[in-house]
Structure 1
Amino acid sequence: MDFRPLDPDDLGTMKQVVDLENATEAVDGPWRHPMTLRTLDAEIRWAWDLEPGRHVVAFDGDTLVSHGVLELTERDNLDLAWFGISVPPELRRRGYGTAMLRHLEEEARAAGRTKAGAFCWDGSPGADFAAAHGYPKRFQSVNRRQHLEDVSLAKVRALYDAAVASAGDYELVLVKGRTPPSMLESMVDMVAAINDAPLDDLDMEDEVFSAERVAAYETAQLNAGLRLHRYLARHRTTGEPAGNTVVAVEEERPQIAHQHDTSVVATHRGHRLGLLLKTAMLLHLAEAEPQVRSIDTFNAESNDHMIAVNEDLGYRWMGRGLGFQRSLVG
């Protein structure tokens, strides 16, 4: 097998990878929105917050047999690597996935990482593959989707009004696109509240956030062709940011949106701010992005509070994601 870095300017190979990934998802996660050249290009160049992973393609002769991704953050969790491995359904069980895994493990060890993890969809061959290679299951999440044509805006408005009644000490601030630089530093603790989300049995340190990282996230998403809409909840007396929610709308497929961060700072919980933020966002999108037809979100399956909020807003179960992790030492 021939392992090569995936060059985003190599249009022929990029198209092959898009076809491979979509063939894989058609079997493993058929509800998922297809990958496009633009979304793959954005993953390679920008990723989530300007820390792109190493994308690798493997060929057997002239045939593309695997696409792998090695993610190595330099901001926190410096001992941890994340892998992504895809093999065309018709070429599985021929050793190509194992060869890619071994290649990514070697790269991770060379980078000084001592543990690694990966994700797959429940019910896909990935779970048995992980177990066979010594990666025990550590985490379960759920992908839910909100179909906006099925969501009653009257119900959303009623839920918003009920949340307002419990959140009188807070005001909402809408930010579209980039957050003003003067606000970034004050947002760090609020964004870091995402560390309170359940991780089940994953062995991870808290993520480290800074004003620079918040700005990097926004740059990456905007460069990827996503329109960002953020609502902040701010305490009226102190001016302290208490929570936020972010939805990203695709420019390429503007009917598709993605729920990014929703978090509330621990000292401000108990005022229904999560519900306030999410209902305010839906009312805003109905006017600002009326073409949006669906919003996808992911939550740890053990995150009962946020799941209850989402289900009250019409989010429906699409599929369960499984997370695996093991040591790379020994």
Structure 2
Amino acid sequence: MNDTAADLRFVPLDAGDPATLDAWLRLTLDSAEDVPLSAAPPCAADLTGSVRFAPPGTALAGELALLGGQAVGALRLVFPDGAPVAVVDQLLTAPKERRQGIGTALFRRARALAAEHGRTRLVFDVVQALPGGPARDEGPAAFATALGASPAGSHEGVHQWLDLGAHDPLADGAPAVPAGYRLQRWGTITPDAFAIAVSELERSLGESPPETWGEGPGAIATSHVRRFERMRVGRGRRAYHVGAVHEETGRLAGFTSASKTTGNPEHLLQGMTVVAAAHRGHGLGLVLKLANLAHVREYEPRVRLIETANADSNRPMIALNEAMGFVPQERFVSWEAPVAPAV
């Protein structure tokens, strides 16, 4: 490690420390790379909220790397409950300070923090170019390899974008709702009547039968969707949902979700779309997505770019997205490294 890295000082990223939080925010915003259709521009409100509100079932640990009192790097780890891994959410060196060993120092610090939390492996995604697709930086993979990381052999996926200026999937109108179902819209907060169903559909990806779902006010208040909503609201995000209700039983047969940050009026994130196993084969997935796009447009008329990602194993959803006009832009591959490096 060179002298620059040896002189680094790490300070916790604390929501109660405005000076450190502001320095981290400026570093993150200034370091955002303009790679077309790789990521939406960072949103200050969303970033600030993310320090205060961790995703359900996780804990966060972040640190800012200082050199001579200036922020030159940042690190953030996510610790999923009950798992032996630490997920590297951010490992960032200021552009003007790169190639001085700061990234290596941050990676070593990540290993130390993971060990302090009893984790045995670091895991993270590396973006790679698709055959025939836009070029992507090969530096992160080379950096990870040099530090003893390697592809995990699982959790590969595709990042897709839809440019509504180039293709409008609603140009010919929305498809008809299949007989026996009706659509139900809602916004950021899920109605109590659907809170358990949404939580269980998402948790099981539609495979668990309704008979196994918990019920009652207590279950609703502590459900996954309620915990996720607290994070979403805390980060200043708005969400739009459409669900398919099976008219005979009154149960939710499936739903789709999309969300927005406050700072990116043209960008939309297409989130979970899931249909219960007993209700597949009716084209509900496409109906839900297109109905929700119409829903979003009523309230967010400036939306132009929609991003989504799916695991390679979810070929039906990838194909559905392509039918809507989504274009694959890059691949993400899960990498891992032992917390204790080989000697």
TM-score tier, shorter chain, comes to 0.7 to 0.9
Deviations 1:227-285 (A, max 9, x none): 21111122222233222111112333333221121122333322222111101111222
Residue 159 of structure 2 is aligned to residue 143 of structure 1 = yes
1:271 to 278, 282, 290: 282
**Which consecutive unaligned segments of at least 5 residues does structure 1 have?**
197-208
Distance change (3 Å), C-alpha of 1:300 and 1:316: same
Amino acid paired to 1:82: V
Higher helix share: 1
Separation of aligned partners in 1, 2:118 and 2:48: 27
Task: Indicate the residue corresponding to 1:303 in structure 2.
Answer: 314
Give the percent of matched residue pairs that are identical in Structure 1 and Structure 2: 28
Q: CA deviation at 1:90?
A: 3.4
Task: Indicate the residue corresponding to 1:79 in structure 2.
Answer: 84
Separation of aligned partners in 2, 1:118 and 1:187: 28
Distance change (3 Å), C-alpha of 1:7 and 1:211: closer
| SS of corresponding position for 1:184 | helix
Distance change (3 Å), C-alpha of 1:192 and 1:110: same
| SS of corresponding position for 2:10 | strand
- Native 8 Å contact 1:85 1:100 kept in 2: yes
- Native 8 Å contact 1:46 1:52 kept in 2: no
Separation of aligned partners in 2, 1:179 and 1:27: 35
Residue 141 of structure 2 is aligned to residue 127 of structure 1 = yes
Deviations 1:175-217 (A, max 9, x none): 1121123432233321113498xxxxxxxxxxxx995221011
Structure of greater Rg: 2
Q: CA deviation at 1:45?
A: 1.0
Residue 256 of structure 2 is aligned to residue 245 of structure 1 = yes
Residue 237 of structure 2 is aligned to residue 231 of structure 1 = no
CA RMSD of aligned residues (A): 2.8
Distance change (3 Å), C-alpha of 1:14 and 1:306: same
Q: CA deviation at 1:308?
A: 1.2
TM-score after normalising by structure 1: 0.83
Separation of aligned partners in 1, 2:55 and 2:140: 23
Pairwise mapping of residues 310-329 of structure 1 onto structure 2 (< 5 A)? 310-328=321-339
Q: CA deviation at 1:28?
A: 6.4
Q: CA deviation at 1:81?
A: 1.3
- Native 8 Å contact 1:193 1:264 kept in 2: no
1:175 to 186, 190, 209: 186
Task: Indicate the residue corresponding to 1:214 in structure 2.
Answer: 225
Separation of aligned partners in 2, 1:81 and 1:248: 26
Separation of aligned partners in 2, 1:238 and 1:232: 14
Distance change (3 Å), C-alpha of 1:322 and 1:267: same
Separation of aligned partners in 2, 1:9 and 1:212: 28
Q: How many residues align?
A: 311
**Which consecutive unaligned segments of at least 5 residues does structure 2 have?**
1-7, 129-135, 208-219
Task: Indicate the residue corresponding to 1:206 in structure 2.
Answer: none
TM-score after normalising by structure 2: 0.80
